[in-house]
Structures are given as structure tokens and as C-alpha cells.
């Protein structure tokens, strides 16, 4: 290991432990490592790498999808989706927990944000579940675990990030590849809800609190059409993922401002400003993480890791298991966006060396790192869920154990059943 890499690792871990924002952790660690490697034009080099990183046409989809998600979140979407989900699964054992998970799937797939799903769905359903006698920590665990399904069910901003850093990978193909894995994850989590509810005696949701199927479907259908428009348009080849993001904004605006009339025009400016701030945070993460990736590539870290792992064993199953374990550990202390940007160039060559399709690896990586959003010490969705549910991480973490098991099982299915991810994108080629 060179001095520069040692400084990079020490600085990175030290700054994380000091709770410095991740974007600054990555940028500062990269700058210190570059200086140690003798790059005296470090400011110019890093700023150039950062500027080049965000100068990608595909990244235009991120601010559009963020804005569409914010419009939907403020436009009364969560309430309508909950009403619809309650009719579909509310009569099953643990009805409210099932409604919670399905609502998170629907909302997450439209907003593309796991944290937004926890906040929007949790603020409505966690208090309701508390009133009906469900365990407080269990309610937060249900919401937290269900929220990550939206990162696999398109549209998903992290898929766009992976496509950009991996290069020569279609965002549209990634979107299509995530549909079945996302649905499988959602079904697995609902299965856990049923098992726990049967064991604890949580009954079906009270019929009197839920509307009938037809009115709830009519109310939720315009919102659900956003997913149909995005996926259907990409599937049919009518537009690219970036173009779909712009269409999503138009559709979300029409619903929230014109059709539902939940957002007054005078509040639109503040909502757009909030979306812009979120976009700024994401883009800064992309920029600094890409600069670190460039440094690692210049130091031939991907080649060294690839050669080392392929030399460990000729068994692809063992190597994929090792990659999954490393990514699971990474996800526990790093947010999903910088993790994808930093570790994709390291592990993608290994996956390709095993004969793995890059799109399949992208879904595997996103599914893996999504689990980290639900785990301490840095799990964003876990912290948001505990804040919404007014409970402690220790208690929620215990309730999360069966959900963790379900997530790992689905991750193994995604890893060793490539057709689950590749059938849909391959079927349109």
C-alpha cells in the first residue's frame, strides 16, 4: 500500500468518526491523498475531476426525479396510496403492517427516495399502527424496511448514478432490470409482516377506516400512472430515462397543482428551492466521490483488487459472496450514493471477470447497499424512521432482525439468479 492510499483510508475513517458530512469527508480525504502522492496541482486536478463528473447528460434525470418526488410528496400522494393499499392487503393478518409495506413500495417507486417514503408513509401509518396496538418498534421497522424497495423499483436516482459511473450502461435497462427484484423484496418483507403478525395476534385492519376498492383506485390511479408512463415509455422506446424524468415532472405538477390542488401556486417556489437544495447535496456527493474514484483508478486499486480476488479462488460463488459481504459492511457506514461511486470501479471489473452482466451487478450492488440504509450506525432510513416514530434505534434494530434475514435471502436470490434482473431488459432487445 502506498503512502497516499494509507493517508486516504486514515483520513476517510477519521473524518467519518468525527461525523463530518460525507461529501466533505470524501473531498478532504482525496485532497490529502493527492498531496501525499506529490500532486501539487491538487486543487486544479480535483476541481477538474469534480466538474467532469457532473457534466453528464444522464445526470439531468436526477433533479427532475427529485422535483417530481417532492411534488408528489406534497401533493397528497401518500394518503391516496395508503387508502388504495389498504383495500388490497388490509384484510390480511397484520393488515396495517401490510398496508405500510405496500404503501412504501408504491410511494418509493414514484418518488425514487427511500427517506421520503419513510417520512411520508411513516407520519401517517406509524401513529395509526400505535393506536391499534402494534408494537411501536415493530411499526418503525416495517416502515424502514419497506422504504428501500423504491430504490429497486424504478425510477431510481441511484440507478442513474450507477449507470454513469459504470459507463456504457443504459439507464433504461437498469430501470427495467430492477422491477422484478424490487417486487420480490417487497413480497418478502410482507411475508415477514404476516409471520410476525400471526405470532403476536395482530389482526386485519378495521374495515370501517378504509374506503372501497373502486373509489380508492380512482383516487390513486393518476398517481400510479406516473410509474406506468415512465416504465411503459421506456419499455416501448418512446423516450429515454432522462426524457422520462422531465415528463414525470410535468405529470406530477399537473396532479399536485391542477388535479389534486394540494399545492398552492404561492408555495411552488419554496418546494422547487427545496428540491434544488437536495439536488445540490446529491451532485456534491457525486462530484467528490468521482474525484476519489479517479484517484483510486490512477493508483490502479481496481486492478489490484480484481487480481487479488480472482487469485483467491476460481469459484465464482465464493467471490460473489465475498463481494456481498464487503458491500454489506460498506453500507453500514456509508450512504448509498458515494458507496456506488467509489466501489463500482473497484468491484465491477471483478464481476465482469467472472462473466457477470454489468446490469445484473448493478442491481446486486444497489440491493446490497440499500440494506445499509436500514442498519446502524449510519442508516439514513433507520434514523428517519426512529425520528418519525419517536423511538430508539436499539429497540427498532431488534425488530429489524427478521426483516434483515428476508433482505439477505432476496439478495442471494438476486445474486445467483441473473434472469430475475435480466429477463425484462433482454426481452425488449
Could you read off the pLDDT of 110-157 as tens digits, one per residue? 777 788 788 888 888 888 888 888 899 999 999 999 999 989 988 888
Query: What percent of the chain lies above the pLDDT cut of 70?
Result: 95
- Tens digit of each residue's pLDDT (9 = 90 or more) over 386-415: 988 889 888 899 999 999 999 999 999 999
Which pLDDT tens digit goes with each residue over 340-373?
988 888 899 888 888 899 999 999 999 999 999 9
Convert the pLDDT of each residue in 8-49 to its tens digit: 888 888 887 887 887 888 888 888 888 887 766 666 777 787
| Spatial distance between the Cα atoms of 126 and 183, rounded to a whole number of angstroms | 23
CA distance readout (Å), 179 to 159, 184, 298: 12, 9, 35
Task: Output the CA torsion sign for 95, 101, 105, 110.
Answer: positive
Q: Is the dihedral of CA 150, 151, 153, 157 positive or negative?
A: positive
Residues 345/297, Cβ–Cβ less than 8 Å: yes
Q: Please name the residues in contact with 378: beta carbons below 8 A apart, sequence gap of 6 or more.
A: 332, 333, 334, 335, 372
Q: Residue 42 has what pLDDT?
A: 65
Q: Are 340 and 365 in contact (CB under 8 A)?
A: yes
**188 vs 375, more confident:** 188
- Residue 208: the pLDDT is 40
Check whether 303 has a pLDDT greater than 80. no
Question: Residue 93 has what pLDDT?
Answer: 76
Please tell me the distance from the alpha carbon of residue 367 to that of residue 184, in angstroms, as a whole number.
Answer: 11
How far apart (Å, rounded) are the C-alpha atoms in residues 422 and 177? 6
Closest CA to 133 of 79, 198, 208, 201: 201
pLDDT score at 362 = 95
Gap between the Cα atoms of 204 and 404, Å rounded: 24
Question: Looking at residue 89, what is its pLDDT?
Answer: 73
Residue 281 neighbours by CB distance under 10 Å: 14
Chain-centre distance for alpha carbon 265:
30
Integer Cα distance of 355 and 14 in angstroms: 37
pLDDT at 216: 72
Given CA atoms 401, 403, 409, 412 in this order, what sign does their dihedral have? negative
pTM of this structure? 0.86
**CA-based nearest residue to 256, from 67, 114, 120, 116:** 67
DSSP H or E run through 32: helix 22-36
* Nine-digit cell string for 153: 423499483
Cα–Cα dist 112/159, whole Å: 10
Amino acid at each position: 500500500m502506498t503512502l497516499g492510499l494509507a493517508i486516504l483510508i486514515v483520513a476517510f475513517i477519521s473524518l467519518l468518526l468525527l461525523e463530518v458530512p460525507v461529501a466533505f469527508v470524501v473531498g478532504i480525504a482525496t485532497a490529502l491523498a493527492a498531496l501525499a502522492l506529490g500532486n501539487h496541482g491538487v486543487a486544479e486536478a480535483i476541481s477538474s475531476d469534480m466538474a467532469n463528473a457532473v457534466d453528464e447528460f444522464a445526470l439531468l434525470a436526477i433533479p427532475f426525479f427529485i422535483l417530481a418526488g417532492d411534488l408528489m410528496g406534497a401533493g397528497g400522494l401518500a394518503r391516496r396510496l395508503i387508502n388504495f393499499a389498504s383495500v388490497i392487503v388490509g384484510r390480511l393478518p397484520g393488515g396495517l403492517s401490510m398496508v405500510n409495506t405496500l404503501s412504501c413500495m408504491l410511494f418509493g417507486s414514484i418518488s425514487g427516495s427511500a427517506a421520503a417514503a419513510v417520512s411520508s408513509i411513516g407520519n401517517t401509518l406509524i401513529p395509526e399502527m400505535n393506536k391499534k396496538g402494534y408494537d411501536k418498534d415493530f411499526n418503525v421497522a416495517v416502515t424502514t424496511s419497506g422504504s428501500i424497495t423504491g430504490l429497486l423499483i424504478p425510477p431510481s436516482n441511484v440507478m442513474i448514478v450507477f449507470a454513469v459511473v459504470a459507463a456504457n450502461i443504459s439507464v433504461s435497462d437498469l430501470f427495467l432490470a430492477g422491477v422484478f427484484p424490487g417486487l420480490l423484496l417487497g413480497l418478502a418483507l410482507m411475508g415477514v409482516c404476516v409471520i410476525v403478525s400471526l405470532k403476536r395476534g395482530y389482526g386485519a385492519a378495521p374495515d370501517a377506516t378504509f374506503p372501497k376498492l373502486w373509489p380508492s383506485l380512482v383516487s390513486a390511479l393518476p398517481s400510479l400512472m406516473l410509474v406506468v408512463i415512465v416504465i411503459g415509455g421506456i419499455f416501448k422506446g418512446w423516450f429515454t430515462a432522462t426524457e422520462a424524468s422531465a415528463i414525470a415532472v410535468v405529470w406530477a405538477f399537473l396532479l399536485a397543482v391542477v388535479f389534486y390542488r394540494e399545492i398552492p401556486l404561492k408555495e411552488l417556489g419554496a418546494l422547487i428551492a427545496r428540491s434544488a437544495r437536495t439536488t445540490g447535496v446529491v451532485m456534491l456527493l457525486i462530484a467528490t466521490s468521482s474525484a476519489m474514484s479517479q484517484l483510486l483508478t490512477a493508483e490502479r486499486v481496481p486492478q489490484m483488487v480484481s487480481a487479488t480476488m480472482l487469485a483467491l479462488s476460481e469459484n465464482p460463488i465464493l467471490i460473489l459472496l465475498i463481494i456481498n459481504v464487503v458491500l454489506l459492511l460498506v453500507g453500514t457506514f456509508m450512504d448509498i450514493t458515494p458507496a456506488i461511486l467509489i466501489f463500482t470501479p473497484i468491484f465491477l471489473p471483478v464481476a465482469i471477470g467472472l462473466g457477470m452482466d454489468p446490469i445484473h451487478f448493478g442491481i446486486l450492488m444497489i440491493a446490497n447497499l440499500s440494506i445499509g440504509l436500514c442498519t446502524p450506525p449510519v442508516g439514513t432510513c433507520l434514523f428517519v424512521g426512529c425520528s418519525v416514530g419517536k423511538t430508539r434505534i436499539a429497540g427498532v434494530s431488534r425488530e429489524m432482525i427478521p426483516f434483515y434475514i428476508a433482505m439477505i435471502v432476496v439478495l442471494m436470490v438476486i445474486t445467483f439468479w441473473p434472469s430475475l434482473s435480466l429477463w425484462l431488459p433482454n426481452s425488449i432487445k
